[in-house]
Amino acid sequence: EENEKPHDEL
């Protein structure tokens, strides 16, 4: 399972 993607927007 893919890792949690970080949120790159504010």
Applying CB under 8 A, the residues found at the interface with another protein are 4, 6-10
> Least distance from C-beta 8 to another protein, angstroms?
5
- Token digits of residue 9: 């927007």
- Token digits of residue 3: 């890792």
> Least distance from C-beta 7 to another protein, angstroms?
6
Compute the distance between CA of residue 3 and CA of residue 6 in angstroms, rounded to an integer: 9
> Least distance from C-beta 5 to another protein, angstroms?
9
DSSP notation for 1-10: -PPPPP----
